[in-house]
Structure 1
Amino acid sequence: MALTEAAPTSFHSWFEAGLHAKARRDWDRCRAWNSRALELFGDPESEEFGGANPAAWNLGIAATALGDWDTARRAWTVYGIGGLEDGTGPIDGNFGLAPIRLNPDRPSLDLEVPARYGDTEVVWCWRRSPAHAVVASVPLPQSGHRFRDVILHDGEPKGSRRTGDQEVSVFDEIVRLCESGMPTWQAQVSAPSLAEVETVGDFFGERGLGADNWSGMNILCSDCSHGSPSADHHNEKPSDGTMILGLAGHEDDLARALEMWTAARPGVSVLALDLIW
């Protein structure tokens, strides 16, 4: 790029070039240009960025996108992230649950190529590294995503959500790294109490299956989604009676799990189970 030719020893030249490559999803160039910026990061830049090297973060993202786990480990270590397991294979740590915005509706960078697999939806994910996660929720089919899809995500917070007493940042999807192919189902369930239905997530999760209560799902406008939704943005939970579940898994596995789940809960019955995606 012209900027790196004009100032070939400038950290900022290579960092900006790396940002452009990141926006265009040109991961080979993003890795190369951020690697060069990493080499040019000196005391002035350290003071400017508070000691954190932003080129290391974007290098980690590019390397993760390329499956270059050795470079990703080096980048995260330079950035100051510890606790990564040794080795050259894929990073598969436990970085906790985080909400990730699928198909982001607002670009983070100029000329950005957005992820466009379907409608925007915020889902909970298991973070396996600082830049990639596995979808833990059962997304709506309109999102074009499935339970256990692997997502490359950015590190800039774009709003927040609450889990228990903790407020956690929302991150934007960059691209989908791997499709799970896990079928998505919709179940209509009759239950004497909402508490019975709320056990479904843990019960199915222990068996490697996905389950969410789709009844009373919150639909937020873009401004609220990018903020910290207050209590008045939460839809009323459905009253006891008939509820809709989103389930993910193969038919035989789901059938066995539903049979076991309902057998242990008198009064709970499955009225309908339909494959939708």
Structure 2
Amino acid sequence: MADQDIAETLHEQAMALQDEGEEAQALALYARALELDYARPVTHYNIGLIHKYQRRWVESQEANRLAVEFEPEDEASNWNLAIAATANHDWRTAREVWQRLGLAIEPGDTPIEQDFGQTPVRLNPDGDAEVVWARRIDPVRARLLNIPYADSGFRYGDIVLNDGAPVGEREVEGRVYSVFNVLELFQPSPNSTFEAELRVSGTQDVDALLQQLEAAGIAAEDWSRSVRTLCRQCSEGLPHEHHEQHDVVLDDRQPIRLIAIAGPDEQAIRQALHAWSDAQRQLTRLDCVLAAGKPH
């Protein structure tokens, strides 16, 4: 049997192991396949893919570089090369790849920060996933625009590295947006996450607080009415009408509300809450649930 045929058999065996989660054994077989037939772009690509999900970015970049060297037009290899280069802060390589893929990004060796529009991203896709909105600053990085739950380990304003392949969709005002899985925290924001428990006379009190915080440059969300829980199937697809069963209908007369607030200055937040309070509305609790400066 020719070396190329043996390499193909080893590659297929490695793929089966990779599908079963036996990544170390798969990598060993891929390496043996390359010893027999080094110019196998798909084998280099699969090695790079395993390293990508292991967050072994140096190894992933090298494997995808070889995959692209042997098959320059392969889109998936180019995307994973750019993702790994971005994770490694190799901006020159990332920019070269994006240009090769036809994206309007100038050459250079500085970080990319452009406006590629808003997109939903999925935090912790392999665990307790949470989908939040973010603004894309390059094809695989985005700055979080929502305040995530503290348990996620992410904060408002974090820059995250996301995968290139969409997993699921969200529809807003008739427009469908692709959801991208977050691979890791790229750059933490200076914001801490606070939970404020309020006693109010109605939704108008909450709206007044949100407007006051916005005027002060402090991010805030009414978690009592903005959070929606989805099953995994619909989270990774396009949520439809049957998700009404997942939604909690808020009674506007509900006196206790939970507000998320994000900012670097707890004193400024307390001052804004104090200015908002009166006989009809009060802050009953303010907790810092995720402090800044602790990368995920």
The equivalent of 1:78 in structure 2 is 100
Are the equivalent residues in 2 in contact too, given 1:98–1:126 (CA < 8 A)? yes
Q: Does 2:188 correspond to 1:179?
A: yes
Are the equivalent residues in 2 in contact too, given 1:3–1:17 (CA < 8 A)? no
- CA displacement 1:18-48 (0-9 Å, x = unmatched): 2122122211121112112222225xxx5xx
User: In the alignment, which of 258, 264, 277 is matched to residue 244 of structure 1?
Assistant: 258
Are the equivalent residues in 2 in contact too, given 1:7–1:13 (CA < 8 A)? no
**Could you tell me the percent identity over the aligned residues?**
31
Are the equivalent residues in 2 in contact too, given 1:59–1:72 (CA < 8 A)? yes
Q: Which has the larger radius of gyration?
A: 2
Cα distance in 1, alignment partners of residues 256 and 196 from structure 2: 10
Cα distance in 2, alignment partners of residues 3 and 204 from structure 1: 60
Runs of at least 5 residues in structure 1 that lack an aligned partner in the other structure: 47-51, 106-115
Q: Does 2:154 correspond to 1:145?
A: yes
How many residue pairs match? The answer is 254
Amino acid at match of 2:52: K
- CA displacement 1:201-225 (0-9 Å, x = unmatched): 6764675533111103212221121
User: In the alignment, which of 112, 120, 124 is matched to residue 103 of structure 1?
Assistant: 124
Cα distance in 1, alignment partners of residues 192 and 161 from structure 2: 21
The equivalent of 1:110 in structure 2 is none
* Aligned CA distance change for structure 1 residues 258 and 87 (closer, same or farther; 3 Å): farther
The equivalent of 1:7 in structure 2 is 37
Amino acid at match of 1:35: R
Runs of at least 5 residues in structure 2 that lack an aligned partner in the other structure: 1-30, 291-296
Q: Does 2:45 correspond to 1:30?
A: no
Amino acid at match of 2:260: G
TM-score by length of 1: 0.79
Are the equivalent residues in 1 in contact too, given 2:96–2:107 (CA < 8 A)? no
CA RMSD of superposed structures (Å): 2.8
Cα distance in 1, alignment partners of residues 139 and 56 from structure 2: 20
Q: Does 2:225 correspond to 1:220?
A: no
* Aligned CA distance change for structure 1 residues 130 and 208 (closer, same or farther; 3 Å): farther
Cα distance in 1, alignment partners of residues 33 and 212 from structure 2: 55
- CA displacement 1:104-144 (0-9 Å, x = unmatched): 13xxxxxxxxxx6xx32112222211111122211111212
* Aligned CA distance change for structure 1 residues 34 and 203 (closer, same or farther; 3 Å): farther
SS of the residue 1:154 aligns to:
strand
TM-score by length of 2: 0.74
Amino acid at match of 1:55: S
